[in-house]
Amino acid sequence: MWNENTSHWDVLRLPFRVTAKGSKILVTTQSMRVANIVATTPPYHVHTLLHEDCWALIKKRAFPSIEMDECNDLAEIGIKIAEKCQRLPLAARIIGSVLHCKSDRNEWEFIQDDLDQLWVAEGFIQPQPRRRIEDIGRDYFDILLQRSFLQFPHHDHNNQLVYKMHTRIHELAPFVSGELCFRMDDNIDTSHLWPNFTNARHLSFVSDGNNRQSLELFCKCNRLRTLLFFSSESQRHVNDISYELFLSLHHIRVLNLNYTNISELPDSIGALKHLHYLDVSNTNIEKLLESVTNLHGLETLKLKNCFNFLQLPIHMKNLINLRHPELDVKRQITFMPSNLGNLRNLQTLSAFIVGKEKGQGIEELKNMNFLHGSLCIANLENVSSVKEAVMAS
């Protein structure tokens, strides 16, 4: 029980007044206030497990049909894994599920290192023959859900599915990630923590728009692979991005500028050679500079709800690894850049606007064999002949 409202407890226990004599209710909580509200006897404080107990729980979960003594050859590594559980039984149970039926020492060592580095999304999903990488990623997600790393979803106020970590798993994650991951808050002074997060690989920045000094500090984080900005629609932050910032982020792979107040990206964005994912949705951005087309590794480009956006880069054909351009084509732009047919790896494309100029015809669709979902083809009056339609296959 989490709720500390006394009246809610009074309502909850009403049905139990008609139970058989001698019945009891067992309440678990992490709040002493809740304990004081519900207790009819002194509360029993459950202590965290010893490392040996964590290891015993992991063994029982990993090898339910094997005697404990038969697992002794894995004990050394198993105890190291158990120490990562922060003495939490839920973490031990989940890790035991991960290790279930994995009796090879190398596999266990791999699981241990995964615990050391936590979850590094960038580059973790390895390609498999004849399978889309998105499908492999979906399998990974399902495994995390089945093994309780993620809880089963619920609907938020927008009726969107939301997946969350269990509280204990979330607490475990920062513990095992060490200095790899860091979360900054605009309202909290983090100057004393600089030695810890200048070497961070994954950094999120939560801001209410009151403090812009923090953004300049990211120039010192030149090892970042992930940089995420978080704000609400009513509390947008970051009005501009300095030219120098992108010059310092040599290794960045994921950049999320969603819900910021930016109207343009600096020309230095072309220096982010390792960038795979760029999200500038829900911003005031008007166009993307041509330097964006130097990002040959870019796979996902999000431009949703950018109502001032009017023009894609002329040389967008150079983004040969682009798979998911997410934009409101029909609302934002009136023509497509030339030779989009070069983008043969496209998986999604919400709309294609047929133009009259060379390289903008419907035949540009002919090599986009991986498209799926829905596709709106606009301005069909610009298809001048049957031959052009046939060429589009």
Q: What is the pLDDT of residues 296-347, one digit of tens each?
A: 989 889 898 888 888 889 999 999 999 888 887 666 688 889 999 999 999 8
Q: Write the CB contacts of 197 (distance below 8 Å, at least 6 apart in sequence).
A: 179, 182, 184, 190, 203, 221
pLDDT at 140: 77
Q: What is the pLDDT of residue 110?
A: 45
Question: Two tokens at 275?
Answer: 């960038």
Largest CA distance in the chain: 86
What CA–CA distance (Å, rounded) separates 341 from 362?
10
Q: Tokens 């226990």 — which residue?
A: 13
Q: Do 51-146 and 180-329 fold alike per CATH?
A: no
Q: Considering the chain, what is the average pLDDT of its residues?
A: 80
Write down the CATH number for the domain with range 51-146.
Answer: 1.10.8
> Where do the domains of the chain lie?
6-38, 51-146, 180-329, 334-393
Residue linked to tokens 């992930």: 226
Tokens of 139: 């399998």
Pick from 30, 95, 29, 35: nearest CA to 61? 95
Place of tokens 């979960």: 61
Note the pLDDT of residue 383.
93
Is 147 strand, coil or helix?
Answer: coil
- pLDDT of 43 higher than 70: yes
Residue 252 has pLDDT above 50, yes or no: yes
Q: Which of 3-12, 177-186, 314-323 has the lowest mean pLDDT?
A: 177-186
Instruction: List Cβ neighbours of 319 (8 Å cut-off, separation of 6 or more).
Output: 292, 293, 295, 296, 298, 301, 343
Q: Write out the CATH class of domain 180-329.
A: alpha beta
Give the single-character DSSP code of 179: T
